[in-house]
Structure 1
């Protein structure tokens, strides 16, 4: 059960982080200087920055990610415009989790190694602010807005990297994230009819989903 909870935390934080990036991107003034855009062009150069800034740069790069802080982890990401694919390894309370994320510009898909189920979210349907009360802390997984070590090289885009695996069943959690947004805005927990947790077939994962939503 503890391992399932860790996986749920990883999934929620990655979704919240990416959606926070989308909201930030929408409000960002055109032409604002970006340090990562220049750093990413330097082959083999290790820099400090955020994955969010890397995405905002609009480059086609592949980067290794190394978070040396407590509870951090490692990963590799492939970026091309608004698309991203990433493989991450994080350790929380002695439990190591390998999680994967693909964003194809319309949906974000997230799943963990060894699992047959994952989640997806239509990124344009939700506006989530990271760091809101009740959301996982940044030490539980990779936070796209957290400064971390990046070592990037130019990359010739391979669109196959942005295709979700066909052997994973993805549950659409758009409704759940809308509920989180509503809770963050009003301060009151609302229970949507037909909870997205009902779509999760694994009993332990479903229980953790319900707990995370406070239902």
Structure 2
């Protein structure tokens, strides 16, 4: 695979993670199609409803409470490529595991953990990751290579989730560089 393409995909994944965090605090976009089923709240799952639907990816992450969402996405500009992932969220922490498969069959998996005021990102197979200050939640939504923007269609399935601290533990063997 062309090294420039690989670097571009890694940058896209990092931007997607940061973009996801930024848009995760925005209101749901209009024009989405979704169905919601309220769930009984308990001390472990607050303010999260089961929800599945489709629309732009920004719509997926406007949730509060403790939840997990799985999503798949395609982009009309790059037929044959796919973008999917799973997000785990609590009031103060987020983990996202992303998978990109390009039409040539190459698969890249990347991860993001937001905890303690920082966002950590890394790609499978690398020993270095990035660490950056988590952006404030009042930053407006941004476009990230077309995947977070409105020109891709995402399908998602979200459910209340009982948080597991291990999901927010940084991996061993990765050196995080940055701010």
* Match of residue 100 from structure 2: 90
Q: Which runs of 5+ in 2 are unaligned?
A: 38-47
Deviation at 1:92, TM superposition (A): 3.2
Which residue is 1:130 aligned to? 142
1:118 correspondence with 2:150 = no
TM-superposed deviation, 1:8: 3.2
Deviations 1:42-85 (A, max 9, x none): 2xx53125554454321211121111333332211111124211
Given that 2:13 and 2:98 are in contact with CA atoms closer than 8 Å, whether structure 1 keeps it comes out as no
Matches within 5 A, 1:169-188: 169-172=175-178, 174=179
Q: Which residue of 1 aligns with 2:42?
A: none
Deviation per residue, 1:171-199 (Å, 9 max, x gap): 11x5xxxxxxxxxxxxxxxxxxxxxxxxx
Q: Which has the larger radius of gyration?
A: 1
Instruction: Give the Cα separation in 2 of the matches to 1:33 and 1:64.
Output: 17
- How far apart are 1:17 and its partner, in Å? 0.8
- The CA deviation at 1:144 is 7.8
Spell out structure 1 runs of 4+ moving beyond 6 A: 32-37
SS of the residue corresponding to residue 119 of structure 2 reads strand
Gap regions ≥5 residues in structure 1: 175-215
Q: CA 1:89–1:128 in structure 2 vs 1: closer, same or farther (change >3 Å)?
A: same
1:13-162 equivalences under 5 Å are 13-18=15-20, 20-21=22-23, 25=25, 38=36, 41-42=49-50, 45-49=51-55, 52-69=58-75, 70=79, 71-92=81-102, 94=104, 95-104=106-115, 106-124=117-135, 130-131=142-143, 137-138=145-146, 142-143=147-148, 147-162=153-168
Question: How many residues get paired?
Answer: 157
Between structures 1 and 2, the one with greater strand share: 2
CA distance in 2, matches of 1:33, 1:144: 13
Give 2:40's aligned residue. none
Query: How high is the TM-score relative to the length of structure 1?
Result: 0.58
Measured in 1, the distance between the counterparts of 2:116 and 2:36 equals 23
Q: Does the Cα contact within 8 Å between 1:17 and 1:144 map onto a contact in 2? A: no
Secondary structure, counterpart of 1:67 in structure 2: strand
